[in-house]
């Protein structure tokens, strides 16, 4: 089972970054791969078990479910329920940690999945670069932060 782990430092206080990331229905406001996001059954975006339906920039749709959310730990976990690509059993975890000497944020993002052996390398790169790294860069732009 491939595991993708990426992290970065954001030059912003952890509370400001958490305010943006904790909104499970807000990724379409900052991640360029997502053009629309809507919560199913009108559930709150911070309700454990809530499902968001996401439309991607290429027109594909997927569904993701919020599995955990902790304001105390500034962390959440989610999984893919339905996806048009060869990512199966995908579970991702996001955690923010304050960097106290610079009043910045350490962002840890990891995901595990299964895939067809022939697709595994491409799916690893998609998650590592197309989702995680693109997300790091997009948050910097969205929040007006220097790289």
DSSP string, 75-104: EEEEEEEE-SSS-EEEEEEEEEEEETTTTE
Domain total for the chain?
Answer: 1
Q: How confident is the model at residue 147 (pLDDT cuts 50, 70, 90)?
A: confident
CATH number at residue 65: 3.30.530.20
pTM of the model: 0.95
Structural domain range at position 34: 3-142
**Residue entry with tokens 């958490």:** 18
Domain-embedded: residue 50: yes
Q: Is residue 147 part of a domain?
A: no
pLDDT number for residue 146: 80
DSSP β-ladder status, 88-99 and 104-114: antiparallel
Q: Is 67 a domain residue?
A: yes
Q: Is residue 108 situated within a structural domain?
A: yes
List, for residues 10-47, the tens digit of each pLDDT value.
Answer: 999 999 999 999 999 999 999 999 999 999 999 999 99
Range list of H helices, 22-132: 120-125
Residue with tokens 């807000």: 26
Q: Is 92 helix (H, G, I), strand (E, B) or coil?
A: strand
Write down the pLDDT at residue 30: 96
């Amino acid at each position: 089972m491939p595991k993708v782990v990426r992290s970065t430092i954001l030059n912003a206080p952890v509370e400001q970054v958490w305010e943006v990331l904790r909104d499970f229905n807000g990724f379409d406001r900052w991640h360029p791969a997502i053009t629309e996001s809507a919560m199913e059954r009108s559930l709150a975006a911070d309700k454990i078990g809530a499902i968001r339906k996401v439309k991607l920039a290429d027109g594909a749709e997927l569904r993701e479910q919020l599995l955990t959310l902790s304001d105390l730990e500034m962390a959440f976990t989610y999984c893919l329920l339905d996806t048009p690509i060869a990512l199966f059993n995908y579970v991702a975890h996001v955690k923010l940690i304050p960097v106290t000497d610079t009043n910045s944020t350490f962002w840890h993002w990891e995901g595990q999945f299964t895939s067809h052996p022939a697709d595994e390398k491409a799916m690893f790169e998609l998650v590592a670069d197309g989702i995680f790294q693109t997300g790091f860069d997009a948050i910097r732009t969205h929040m007006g932060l220097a790289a």
